[in-house]
Structure 1
Amino acid sequence: MGSDTICYIKSDLKNKFSYFKFEKDTVFQRNKADKNNNLVFILHGEMEVIYGDLYPRLISGGNMILLTPLSRCVCKAVSTVELIILGFGTLNHSCDKYIFQNLTPFFSLIKYEFRELEIRESLDRFLQLMQNYEQNQVPMADLASRKIQELFIILHAYYTSDELAMLFYPLLGKNMEFKKLVVDYYLHVKSAGEFAELCGYSQGVFQKKFKDVFGETVYQWMQRQKAEYIKHRLMTSEVNLKELADELNFASSVHLNKFCKIWFGMTPSEVRQTFILKKNLR
């Protein structure tokens, strides 16, 4: 995928259904600053998806995926693609919360794997109605919260707990408010001290709580996020290595080179070339 992308999910789409249509060969992705979660329903067409450092996979119409603020995902329309996207933050309705609370016990029982989930008949009828509303510009301000509630009732009724737990895995577990704080601020900090201050904690308390929730230190987590971001950028764009080093505040491309050798055992150029070779062999 080239470096030109269209940011298709805007940060103001919270608690709202939106319809999108992308022509063949269009490359699109989330807005980097978007703090919402996005439930993406592929209505028609086929798209190639690179999620994190996974190799491209084709996802066709009749499926849905979840993207969060931590998701690194770039999509390319293999044919004309039509999507309905729900942008949502914290779920406020008691029914929505109840469904997520019921899924929480599955958090420690399953190993997360990013994959699509089939859109079943009852959900498809609901999405057709939402598409009709969007295309005919039906005012949705008063309806949106009720439609979101209806969506989660449909999901609860027609999907198993195992299926929903895998789909919503990134949103499950304890201390979701703390996780949301971390997601909201991690792009704006350069150190654990800055992170703690921005989140309103003393550094000691923040470090302990962070380790309890994420299973690693703040520094380890931030370094891993940086490594995943670098690999994703190398896989999905033609970004110049000096530009990438500047973007991530490395002193020089030499320092970026050393960082990649530590994390991946190879240089940035080798990471990119390895991805290209493996993609061509698929």
Structure 2
Amino acid sequence: MDHEILLNKLLYVEEHLSCRNYLNQVEAGFKYIELEQELFIRKECACWNYLLLFLDGKFVISQDQFSKRMFNAGTMVLLPKMSAFSGWGSSGGKLVALSFDTPPGSCDMFVLQSLSSICETIKYDFQATEIRYPVTPYLEVLTFCLKNGMSCGHLHELMAKELFFLIRGFYTKEEIATLFYPIIGQDFLFKQMIIENYRR
């Protein structure tokens, strides 16, 4: 017997909007972007690391020494913090962008740091990594929540951890090293310790 998927709308919207954890402006976290027309963007110095997950359309991105690389739906790529980049997106293009300073969990930091030796064998060329199961259905849930206005800070934090967890579990070390190559040499744990002590 076939089961029809019933799509619900977000309930109790006012409660979400009035919560102190609701993010009107997302800095660190997820953004769902749908282009109504062609778009060109340029940044001289990225404030965050951006993990871009392309859902539909075509995109052309130049980043530092890499010029005019084409990215299609079903792929993802990382733009590192402090990099200069420019990008073009086709009309109707859709993507999810995760902006972050350090990976969301200490396990993720350890894993990325452990891949340094693999990075030494890779000729990095700013290439795309395929989006595949189980990241595909994860993105369906994430975009559904974002499109319906669910933008709690806790949701962004949990979904970021889940994305890194899925990548860590279902992508090879070589694929992870290639995707996160630009930031693998960073000492995340030292940086996190400095930030936590500064907040005290």
TM-score normalised over the length of structure 2: 0.74
Q: How does 1:183-194 map to 2 (within 5 A)?
A: none
C-alpha distance in 2 between matches for 1:93 and 1:78? 34
Match of 2:148 in 1: 136
The structure with more strand, counted as a fraction of residues: 2
Q: Deviations over 1:83-124 (max 9, x none)?
A: 101010123522222321332322322222111111102111
Sequence identity (%): 28
The answer to whether the 8 A contact 2:63-2:79 is kept is no
Structure 2 residue 48 is matched with structure 1 residue 36: yes
Deviant stretches of 4+, over 6 Å: 177-180
Match of 2:106 in 1: 94
Q: Deviations over 1:130-149 (max 9, x none)?
A: 11111101142122222111
Question: Which of 1 and 2 has greater Rg?
Answer: 1
Structure 1 unaligned segments of length 5 or more: list them: 1-10, 181-282
- SS of structure 2 residue aligned to 1:19: strand
The answer to whether the 8 A contact 1:41-1:64 is kept is yes
Cα separation, partners in 2 of 1:108 and 1:179, compared to 1, 3 Å:
farther
Structure 2 unaligned segments of length 5 or more: list them: 1-24, 193-200
What is the deviation of 1:175?
A: 4.1
Match of 1:13 in 2: 27
The answer to whether the 8 A contact 1:17-1:84 is kept is yes
Aligned residues: 168
- SS of structure 2 residue aligned to 1:121: coil
Amino acid paired to 1:164: I
C-alpha distance in 1 between matches for 2:61 and 2:122? 23
Match of 2:35 in 1: 22
Q: How does 1:1-282 map to 2 (within 5 A)?
A: 13-14=27-28, 16-30=29-43, 32=44, 34-173=46-185, 175=187
The answer to whether the 8 A contact 1:51-1:71 is kept is yes
Cα separation, partners in 2 of 1:75 and 1:17, compared to 1, 3 Å:
same
Cα separation, partners in 2 of 1:145 and 1:155, compared to 1, 3 Å:
same
Higher RCO (CA-CA < 8 Å; seq separation 6+): 2
The structure with more helix, counted as a fraction of residues: 1
Q: Deviations over 1:168-219 (max 9, x none)?
A: 0111125457899xxxxxxxxxxxxxxxxxxxxxxxxxxxxxxxxxxxxxxx
C-alpha distance in 1 between matches for 2:65 and 2:113? 30
TM-score normalised over the length of structure 1: 0.54
Cα separation, partners in 2 of 1:143 and 1:21, compared to 1, 3 Å:
same
The answer to whether the 8 A contact 1:46-1:80 is kept is no
Amino acid paired to 1:136: N
Cα separation, partners in 2 of 1:34 and 1:49, compared to 1, 3 Å:
closer
